[in-house]
A and B are shown apart, each in its own frame.
Chain A
Amino acid sequence: MNEVTRHEPQADVAARERRSLAMRPPVDIYEEDNALFVVADMPGVTRDGLSVEVDGNLLSIEGEMHIDMPEGIAATYAEAQAQRYARRFTLSHEIDTAAIEARLENGVLQLRLPKKEMHRSRRIEIRAA
């Protein structure tokens, strides 16, 4: 791998490295009868900077922070160490990937992953014998 990267200009390497650094947003995942829900903290991400993709059964959540920073600012203390968020999950077969809904509010992403009709839970009546 060193053989390949050595020939790249330094600036390209730095830029790619910056892109590849991403924080793992904390998530809550819970289930209701008809859907699974994913809630992710992604402060600083606007609608334009957010990307939610499903490829096969792989769900990718990515977000780019938009933060106004003045020219020449130098960090003196930092807990957030990247300007991107990225996280991936594999979905199970009963999720209706075409019907996934996303909402972004105050930097919190809420995904609703509905289950296909045939997999929704049914209450089973128990008859007296």
Chain B
Amino acid sequence: MFGDLRRFDTGASPGLDWFRNWLDDILQEGGPADIRSVPRGSYPMINVGRTDEAVRVYVLAAGLGADDLEVSVQDNVLTLRGRRDALPARGEEGDRRPCFRRERFDGEFARSVALPEGLDVERAEARYHDGVFEIHLPKREELKPRRIEIQAA
């Protein structure tokens, strides 16, 4: 699923169109954006995928432990809250000297994504490993795809 995600940016030309990718990076997209979408590099990153049985939300939140993320669903909007301190308060080896780069997110965050209709939130589960939360939201029975048998007349 993660491997084929470039299609979200590059549309019909999945080729090695590095120039276009580069332009996409430096220019603002012209089209309308999802109201809850965020600029690239936001923390935590969220990917949503769908199978026949469920919707899966992957939250890429490096530095959080399993208990550090608060996940809630209300009116089909999934909200994630937490706090991530980028660096420990003080150095172990004497006074801290210059910081050359501070790119990592620091502080409290709250993010929301809209979920599709028809999920059974009561049966939702979440798992965690190595900074990634996987939230599994099963679809309600009536919304799963069904095979329709064709009977001979």
Contact = CB atoms under 8 A, between A and B. Distances in A.
Interface residues of B, number: 58
The majority secondary structure among interface residues of chain B is loop
Interface in A88-129: 104, 106-108
B19 interface: no
17 contacts: A26-B105, A27-B104, A28-B101, A29-B99, A29-B101, A32-B95, A32-B97, A41-B43, A43-B60, A65-B2, A70-B51, A76-B48, A79-B42, A81-B9, A83-B2, A106-B65, A106-B130
A79 B100 contact: no
Given A28-B104, A75-B48, A41 B134 contact: no
Nearest to A49: B130
Contact of A34 (B9, B55, B93): B93
Interface string B113-143: 1001000000000000111101000000000
Contacts of A82: 2-3, 5-6
Given A34-B93, A72-B52, A39 B65 contact: no
A81 B51 contact: no
Contacts of B43: 41
A63 to B, nearest CB: 10
B49 A33 contact: no
Interface core residue of A35, A39, A66, A78 (most chain B CB under 10 Å): A78
B104 to A, nearest CB: 5
Contact of A30 (B3, B34, B99): B99
B41 A72 contact: no
Given A43-B61, A44-B131, A75 B6 contact: no
Interface core residue of B3, B4, B46, B91 (most chain A CB under 10 Å): B3
A77 B9 CA distance: 11
Given A32-B94, A32-B96, A106 B62 contact: yes
Interface string B79-112: 0000000110001111111111111110000000
A79 B56 contact: no
Contact of B87 (A30, A35, A79): A30
A72 B95 CA distance: 52
B104 A39 contact: yes
A107 B104 contact: no
Given A65-B2, A72-B52, A46 B130 contact: yes
A67 interface: yes
